[in-house]
A and B are shown apart, each in its own frame.
Chain A
Amino acid sequence: MRNPAGKREPGSQADLRLPRSFVERGIGSVLLVCAAVSVVVTIGIILTLLKETIGFFQRVSFKEFFFDTQWTPLFSNKHFGIWPLIAGTALTSFFAMLTAIPLGLMSAVYLSEYAPERIRKALKPSLEVLAGIPTVVYGYFALTFVTPLLQKVIPGLAGFNAISPGIVMGIMITPIVASLSEDAIYSVPLSLREAALALGGSRLRTTFRVVIPTAFSGIVASFILGMSRAIGETMIVTIAAGQQPRFTLDPRVPIETMTAYIVQVSLGDTPHGTIEYSTIFAVGMLLFLITLVFNLIAHFMKKRFLRGVL
């Protein structure tokens, strides 16, 4: 059979030179630009926040921001003490973690140590559905369902409060905590469990004395990431926690979180250039820095954990 391509006889002089194609040379740089966009975004976030924050601190002293205990930028008698917003955020986040840590950790231990492989594989993704539900829906749930329910149990609970959105936020964060803790617990080598077993430890003891301590920094990393999510969460607390910045640790009364304040101002007609307008960037800067620190701590704890295990 004749070769349909009319092949050149082997041995004829070959020319190995051929410029690389135009696309081949250009595409790497185009793709690099795509990847660099993410860096530009970070720089953009920092510059945007910094610009207005600097403007803010030219008019309001650090001392007032960090030591005054009233936050009333929208009133005629303006105070710029950040503490009421921090207290609000801390309160709702506290109740969120109070819900998410036990639920998430127990789910993780059960999935990793007790559940049959089949159930583990089926349940993990279905938990993640929980994390995908829009937060505005959770907010509606907190306001119209959980708060009335809690009002029957807790005397003096206002219609807007820190407990109800906190708990609902905790439900939303549970899958994140559970999934990340489970990863950590699951990656504890089997040989460690077998060693504990061989020493006559019960399964429960093995889990709590060997497995969890080994996975500890990985588990704590999942708590910190969950915490960072709670601090940055916006719609649930805006809808169900109220919009009254109050320097209190009473979870039953309306409060305001940092995120809810940003929404409150954004909903109004605050003109660009005013002090009210720049407050949301100052609050945003603080929020950005807090979550960044939490995320970085979680990142390094996770890294340390993985180095320790592998």
Chain B
Amino acid sequence: MNKNMEEHYRSPREFDFSGIKPEEAIITTDNVQAWFHKTIALKGISLPIARGKVTAIIGPSGCGKSTFIRTLNRMHEVVPGAGLRGRVLFEGQDIYSPEVNPIVVRKKIGMVFQKPNPFPMMSIRQNVASGFLLQGIRSDHLDEKVEYYLRQAALWDEVKDDLGKPGSSLSGGQQQRLCIARALAIEPSVLLMDEPCSALDPIATARIEDLIHSLRGRYTIVIVTHNMQQAARVADYTAFFYLGEVIEYNRTDTLFKNPANKQTEDYITGRFG
């Protein structure tokens, strides 16, 4: 299998028109190949992720976009049968080098999932603070922090009187913002979002997009989405994935207005996918 993968290796220049300089990148992936059992999901991805920017990953289902962001905080390996080669440099350190503890990586690179998944046995307050609980950290000023991160997630005004209620009592969109607050509370510098709006209605989606705009600059955000309009609305940079490869990576406006690759053009004009 590894032999086959070598053939897929392409130099970044072929598809990377983003112009992100090495010193601007917070994460750089270097020929990341990923698989589940015998199925290859990623065929050698080399991408820089710009610090403080929003990067969107688009592509048809099965193109490996979710697998890709899960390799960025070592969530890929949680799935049984998952395997990986290549390097992911975070602040210049390879997060896959043997002495690195994946738990520390996940503290620095937070994640929001496709389906809102607040912990059902915890209240709203406990959900926001769950990162401390789960890391075994005793934290002072907890109420202050809960309020701060709920405000960050634009949820405070809606839930400030119901902090003791279970997280699952909220609507889907509120649950997803609760999950964002929960992820922000562990103070990551990067936030990965795996199709965060796919289970939400348009109004809730708009609120999440507003939230992404307000977080821009303070956090680096990588968002996977199947919705091209969403990528166009929120992202500074966009990567188009197809069959486990990056086809094109560029500034969002350029990629959508003036794609360099025929496949990208076909996809964004809706001719396939």
Contact = CB atoms under 8 A, between A and B. Distances in A.
A–B contact with Cβ pairs below 8 Å: the answer is yes
Interface of A: 1, 3-5, 7-8, 10-11, 13-21
Nearest to A3: B148
Given A10-B220, A11-B26, A16-B93, A4 B104 contact: no
Given A4-B141, A7-B187, A13 B91 contact: yes
A112 to B, nearest CB: 33
Contact of B95 (A7, A16, A19): A16
Given A10-B220, A13-B91, A17-B100, 11 more contacts: A1-B148, A1-B151, A4-B144, A4-B148, A7-B187, A10-B219, A11-B51, A14-B93, A14-B189, A16-B95, A17-B101
B159 interface: no
Contacts of B92: 13
B149 to A, nearest CB: 9
7 contacts: A4-B148, A8-B187, A10-B219, A11-B26, A16-B95, A20-B101, A21-B136
Interface of B: 26, 51-52, 90-93, 95, 99-101, 103-105, 108, 136, 141, 144-145, 148, 151, 187, 189, 218-220
Contacts of A7: 187
Contact of A16 (B108, B136, B144, B145): B108
Nearest to B186: A5
Contacts of A17: 99-101, 104
B29 to A, nearest CB: 16
Contacts of A16: 90, 93, 95, 100-101, 104-105, 108
Contacts of B145: 4-5
Question: Which 5 residue pairs spanning A and B have beta carbons closest together?
Answer: A10-B189, A16-B100, A4-B144, A18-B101, A16-B104
A18 B189 contact: no
Nearest to A17: B99
- Interface of A, secondary structure class, is loop
A14 B26 CA distance: 11
A150 B218 CA distance: 85
A110 B220 CA distance: 61
Contacts of A5: 145, 187
Nearest to B52: A10
Contacts of B136: 21
A195 B52 CA distance: 61
A14 B52 CA distance: 16
Contacts of B108: 14, 16
B101 A19 contact: yes
Contacts of B151: 1
Nearest to A12: B91
A16 B92 CA distance: 11
Contacts of B101: 16-20
Contacts of B144: 4
Nearest to B146: A4
Contacts of B219: 10
Nearest to A2: B148
Contacts of A8: 187
Contacts of A1: 148, 151
Q: Which of A5, A13, A16, A17 has the most CB of B within 10 A?
A: A16
Nearest to A1: B148
B86 to A, nearest CB: 17
Contacts of B105: 16
Contacts of A4: 141, 144-145, 148
Nearest to B141: A4
A20 B100 CA distance: 10
A4 B105 CA distance: 22
Nearest to A4: B144
Contacts of A14: 90-91, 93, 108, 189
A7 B145 CA distance: 12
A21 to B, nearest CB: 8
A25 to B, nearest CB: 11
Given A3-B148, A17-B104, A10 B218 contact: yes
B104 A18 contact: yes
Contacts of B95: 16
Contacts of A18: 101, 103-104
A4 B101 CA distance: 27
Contacts of A11: 26, 51, 91, 189
